[in-house]
Amino acid sequence: MMTCHNLLCLTLFSLVFTIGSGCWLDDQTNHVPTDLTLNEELVLLLGLELGHELNFKEHLQNILIPRTVGSENHTLVQNYIIGTLQDLGWSISLDQFTQDTPLGPRPFTNIIADLNPASPRRMIIAAHYDTLTSIGGFVGATDAAVPVAMMLNLASTMTKSFQDALAIRPDLTPSLVFFDGEEALKSWTSEDSLYGSTHLADLWHNQTYENLDCHETTSQMDRMDVLVLMDLLGTPDPDFQSFQFDSEDDGPNPYYGMMDAIEESLDHFIPSDTKSMFNGLQSSSHVQDDCTPFWNLGLKRIHHWITRPFPSMWHTLGDNWDALDFDYIQRMNMILRIFTAEYMQMQ
């Protein structure tokens, strides 16, 4: 087993990448993630050596408060996310807008963090950071404080490794997107929900992206290699289904398949008492969530990482710290680290 010191570990990696074609769109189309699942040394490194569960819990404690849109707590969490990532060297951009809602005009802020904003391609990990307004004191542990804390933990444990990868292949950056206004402010309808993701999807779909490497007009949405949206994570014994977003592909979602294989590898190299989370079921229907506006505008490279059926404490005051199972969360953090390493083509 390799021994090393936390964030310095992956400097020991050999980073091997596919030779680029010159046009990032071609590289995106032809992108093949590496398969690390048979590499015991790297599975142990990414799964255990880079694990930092105290860091995860610290992030979670700073997020796990009522954070309704426009509230003081909402701003506190927003500033915590921004400050954490800026301290780690990520570039922050904000998509800020005011929109009419059933409760009157409300300000919304999507947070976009890129490690290398000059990269034409983005591997996007995303979750929402707001909470329900209809239940006083609701803290939304699974919905979606845990996913947000997982994203910050990913940045805390993997930034040095991502920087090493970007030094060799600067065209593909990890990006973290924190959506605002996912929850309905009154009751869920197509108009009263998904405020932030709808705004950002429309903005990126219509915003031209200029890059001289490819002699064609592209949009900011074209830069999205993949959108991994996390929601309702953190309870014991979760079931994750495969949602297919590409109507031309009858097979399982390829990103789901990657995580399923990673979990199997962890079961082999790092056994635990947690049961299998990826049940292999393919769903013909989608759960309306922050990935929906992007899919409606043509994005097919989506992985919706969500517990289904929903946790029993969904949208109740019981969705709190006590509802969480940290053994399963630790496992999901391992899966997320290995998934991002594979997508970034680390070997």
Residues with a known catalytic role? 182, 231
CA–CA separation, 115 and 91 (whole Å): 6
Q: Decide: 205 and 297 in contact? Cβ < 8 Å.
A: yes
- Specify the pairing of strand 224-231 against strand 208-209: unpaired
The secondary element (H helix, E strand) that includes residue 259 is helix 254-269
CA–CA separation, 202 and 184 (whole Å): 19
Question: What backbone phi and psi angles, to 5 degrees, belong to 295?
Answer: -65, -40
CA–CA separation, 164 and 272 (whole Å): 31
The answer for residues whose C-beta is within 8 angstroms of residue 223's C-beta and 6 or more apart is 120, 121, 122, 204, 209
CA–CA separation, 265 and 252 (whole Å): 19
Closest CA to 156 of 239, 58, 282, 26: 58
Q: Decide: 43 and 36 in contact? Cβ < 8 Å.
A: yes
